[in-house]
Every structure is written in C-alpha cells, then in structure tokens.
Amino acid sequence: MLSIILILFTSIFFTGIILRTKSITSGRKGPGLMQPIKDVIRLFKKGAIYSETTSIIFRIAPAIYFSTVFMACLVIPFGSYKGIVSFDGDFIFFAYILALGKFFSIISAMDTGSSFEGMGASREALYSMFAEPAFFILIGSFALFTGNTSFHNIFSSLHLGSSITYTLGGLAAFVLIMIAMIENSRMPVDDPKTHLELTMIHEVMILDNSGFDLGLILSTGYLKFAMYGAIIADFFIGGLSFFWAIPLFLIIQIMFAVLVGIIESFMSRFRMNHNPQFILTLSSVSFLIFLGVLLVLDKFV
C-alpha cells in the first residue's frame, strides 16, 4: 500500500522537477513545480470533443491506458514490503498489462483515420517492441540471481555486496532509465515539445484528444515516470527500515527527474533511423547484466 501512495505522491511533482531542471539549465525562470498538475486539472474541467470518424475505441482508450498503468503500479513493492498485487511471475503481468494499455493507445490513434497519427502509432509500436527484450532480460537476470520470480521476492532478497553486483545495479538503473524515456516518448528518442508531425511519435498520436481525455493521458505519463523511478529505487532500498527507505525513495525519484531534465537539456533527439539501433543497444546492456549474473553465480562451465 505504501508503494502506490509514494508513487502517486511523486508523480505529482515529477514532471514539474523535469521542467524546472530544463529551465535552470537554459537560464530561464520557468514554470513552478505544480504547473503540469494545474494544466491537467484544468483539462479535467473541460469536455472532450470527438470526431465523427472515431468509434468507441477512441473514447475508452484513455481510461484503459490510465487503468493499465495504475494496475502495473500495484505490482511494484516497496523494498521488502509487498505491493498490493504480488505473485510469482508478476513481472510478466507487469510488462503485459502495460502492453495492453499501449495497444489501446495505438489503435486509438489509428481509429482517427489520420495518416499522421497512424505514422506515430507505428513508430510507438516498433520502439515498444524493441524495448521489451531489454526489460525481460534485465528482470530475468535478477530473477536468476535471487532465485525468485516476483518483484517483491527479487528486491527483498537482492543484496549488492561486491563491486560486480554494484556494477550490475548501476547498469540495471541505466537500462530502466532509458526504458522509461522510451516508454514516455522523451529525449533522445522523441521530443515532447516538437510540433512537426513528421518527427513526432507520442505527441502526434494524441492530436485528436482533448479535455478530460487529454488530461487523463498526460497524468498517465506522469504516473508512468514515477512508476519506473520506484522500480529503480527498489534496487537500492532492499531491507531498509521505513525511517531510511522513504527518504531514500524520494531522493532517488528526485535524482531521476533531475537526470531526465539534464538529458533533455543537453542531448539532441536521435534521427529516426538511429532510434532502433539505440533501443536494441539496451538489450545488449541487459545481456551484459545477464553475463555478470552468471559470473557471480559461477555458472560458467
């Protein structure tokens, strides 16, 4: 229960910290930390407008997208404390409940009949497909390392006690940060501030969404960022008491948000044909983690 409360709490400030970091690095005052949430609240007060060419899929997709991400958050533990939903193999459920929400967001974009939104949907599907192996190799490696197959048991029994295991934890954090950037269509894969349809991915998919639906999509993105930050924090919280674990969780979330802001301030977006190469590189890094786990467990013959 504590995990979902902390994720919801940090999601309120996460995007605001990113924008604030980007403003400071560019020498601007920028908006306040609560501005993204204020924008979402303003959208929630507005009605949605639907095109005559759309079907029921377009209307229900934002709610399903939000519901799947919220359900995925329920699986995430807080250190050695279980999430609300916990069972053996729950990381597979986590991945595919997110895939369900992604599927509905993709077919929702295609449901509009717009060639631009269909183009963005095809890119979104391609990049998500390329990112999936990196996640499964990563979590599967730590499942092998700990001998467990649930998020709770993996994180509660994960002890980083040597230089090799600390290296594995650092590489795992890097892969999860990059996956979070890809899943949220951020730099260097996509630029959330661009308004050129030919180069947009996620932004072009939601051009037809408005009012409450758009607010739901934006708030889902904020929640998804905090969700991946919670997974990264679990790698380092371990069996710490609440007195140390909660501040460490918040510090890691803040550091994650600041890092995202720095990346988006000093990196340019990759060219479209370079994105698949970059995403597949994450699978190579995950495979290095797998080899490191085999080395630690002395599984090499």
| Residue type at position 72 | A
Q: How far is CA 204 from CA 55, 161, 230, in A?
A: 19, 45, 28
Query: C-alpha 34: how far from its chain's center?
Result: 20
Map tokens 């597979």 to a residue.
92
* The token pair that represents 283 in the structure block: 């699978």
CA distance 245 to 29: 32
For residue 192, cis peptide bond before it (omega within 30 degrees of 0): no
Tokens standing for 34? Answer: 């609560």
pLDDT at position 199, please? Answer: 64
DSSP type of residue 269: P
What's the pTM value of the predicted model, to 2 decimals? 0.88
Average pLDDT, the chain: 83
pLDDT in tens, 229-245: 898 888 888 667 777 88
Cβ distance 88 to 178 under 8 Å?
Answer: no
| pLDDT tens per residue across span 182-223 | 887 777 777 777 666 666 777 778 878 888 988 998 899 889
196 Cβ contact partners less than 8 Å away, ≥ 6 residues apart? none
Alpha helices in the chain, H assignment, sequence order: 2-25, 35-44, 56-75, 90-111, 115-146, 151-156, 163-183, 202-205, 211-237, 242-266, 275-296
